[in-house]
Structure 1
Amino acid sequence: MTSAILCGICQYRDTIKDARQWCTNCEEGLCEDCEKLHRSTKNTRTHKIISINDYQHIKDVVVSQVCEQHGKNYDLYCPTHDNAICIACVDQHKSCSQVFPLIEAVVNIKESTALTDLEDTINVVLQNSKINMIVDIKSSAEAFDKQEENIKKYIKEMREKLNKHLDDMEQKLTKDFSTKSEYCKTAYANTIKKIISSYDKLAKLKNDTESLKRIASDEQIFLGTREMSKVVEKEINSMKSMFDAGKSYEIKLELDANISSLLDNVSHLGIISIKEDNANMQFKETKLNQAKMQVSLPLVNSVQELRLKHKFKLEKVSLKMIVTGCLMLPSGDIVIADKWVHNKVVKYNESGSHAKDI
């Protein structure tokens, strides 16, 4: 919502009224009554008054009409320094070739080369920023997004490869572990089985000896004792062999040194880095500075050799043209004065194409 512009004169009188017009000279709003007074007063009747709607379009354009050093209105213009000056600034420009009234400097300013070049410069900059620079940056941003996508994809693929490799090593190690563990368990079971078998045989021999002692004759005991002693000795020797050959197993895990090093020394899969380079975006040069220079450069009393660059045809909008003058602008454009049709000025660009009529 646009804020209302108040009448400056009424505000000075402690009265609040909305302004209908704006005085660009006084830089304040005017209500309907104050506008009539403004136009009828001798000192202000020549002031430029515009509508509030028009002022809304230019109110953010900062144009100072007062000398910052002396606080006086700009009345003069120094082409040597390309500066507007007030009456108090004249002493600082005594050595300048000429100083003339500002009112003379602003004659036909809307058709001036400086204003045209300013418009061209802004158009070129807008074209650079919107068409070239933004397109280039968007292209770089899209390439960056693609790089980001590729890196994320690569990280995921690398993780999957690592996972698969670790899974394969785990399966291989687990299989080897199961084989060796089963071997040890089987060896323990076989030893226990042999010991139990020998124990059972000795226990049976014990029972047989007790039965022989209780039931058999002396001759049978005599002969049986000798036979059984041989069997007992054999079982004892077998049992001693089992005890001598008995094994004790301890299963251990020793990680590969590279795996241990990975766990101890590798804390990340990789490092993300940003490489910053000059984008090398091309900026089309403008000729605004040349337009300023034409005001302050002194005339050179020398003529250099002229060479024809190119020819182009003038567009006739009537039966004939009366060319009374031409001028090449610092931007490279050419203006042709045609007196036949209402003192028209025709503008052509560097290539000779018709640009516009003024």
Structure 2
Amino acid sequence: MRIPTYIAIILLASLLFLAGCGEENGDVTPVSVSVSTHWIAMTTSETRVISATIHGDGGTIDWASSDNSVVTVSGGIISPIGEGTALITASAGDCTSDPCTVHVAEDWILYTDNEGLRVITPENERDMPIPGTSGATSTISGPLLWCDNGIVYQIDGPYGYSYLWFRPFSSDEARMISEDTLPTINDIRKKPDGGIFVSLLPNIYEFDESSTFPVFGDEYKYFGIDGQRIDGFDISPDCNSFVAMCPTGGNDLVIFTLQGSESSPIDTLPVNYYATCPRFSPDGSEIAFSYGTLAGNVWLVSTGGSTPVSVISEGDDIAGFDWSPGGDRVVMCVRNPAMQFELWLGNVLTGETDKLTNATVGSLEYIPQWVD
């Protein structure tokens, strides 16, 4: 039976109207939903931001946490509640993303092995690799820095040079942020107002940690001490001064202000050794360092000037270390007799040391970071 033309037109118009209403009311089903990262580590004092993408038309994002006693999530902002592990998912319509695993601890220790970056808890419980930082032909060594929005680290390049890399917390992929090879970087420290300080001989340069930058650019601010070469350095807790090892200035630790290029020292600590990895104590009253032929020791010197005192002795070499937030311990990268580097904790009050036995042993030296 043939349908009259006018009836067919009415039926077609009705179908088009209904289809239009469905789109207007958001009834179109998304194809899938994905999140920007599938792994996050954070401390109990931090927040993280994750994004989600709807593939297909229609729908709005709904966020969910598998354990609200560990983290909550709203609008992609992840807030810590307690220590533990939880899964974050994003949903739209009938589609749910693959989960993002969130690990929360009061403190983390950032270190590296032969495969890539890792984090471990000071209690020696959880130890895990950081995805996106491994490479079959690349090796991570030297200073490591946990910033507000990601991790900055150095990868060895050819002929003694290196590359600077950045692994954002909002993505699973790391990327190179130096446009070319760099001289070996002795230290990287965090700026109090965001960004980083990097020791590129002979000065300390100021950069945005997440942006690509040239090797040396006039647009970047730098700090120096009357032409002396700066190796390892640190910034004071009050953010008003640097301490730096200046081997061309008599193997002294030099404290100078953050005034800009060619600053004049405000104090010199004549430690008379080739000090490595100088680090202000959390209260700014002391500076810890390791040095030269007695590199298996951690020494303390008062910022007001005093005779250096050895407070920790462990292994054949301490390549680098960092203070605990409480100022009573340090985490150390220690070389053992087998020429491998292990992660140790040392108590600056008692001299006692403990090996983080769950930490992975590596063959390259690095400077760990205690993150709180």
Give your verdict on TM over 0.5: no
Larger radius of gyration: 1
Specify which structure has the higher proportion of helix: 1
The TM-score, its normalising length taken from structure 1, stands at 0.19
Specify which structure has the higher proportion of strand: 2
The TM-score, its normalising length taken from structure 2, stands at 0.18
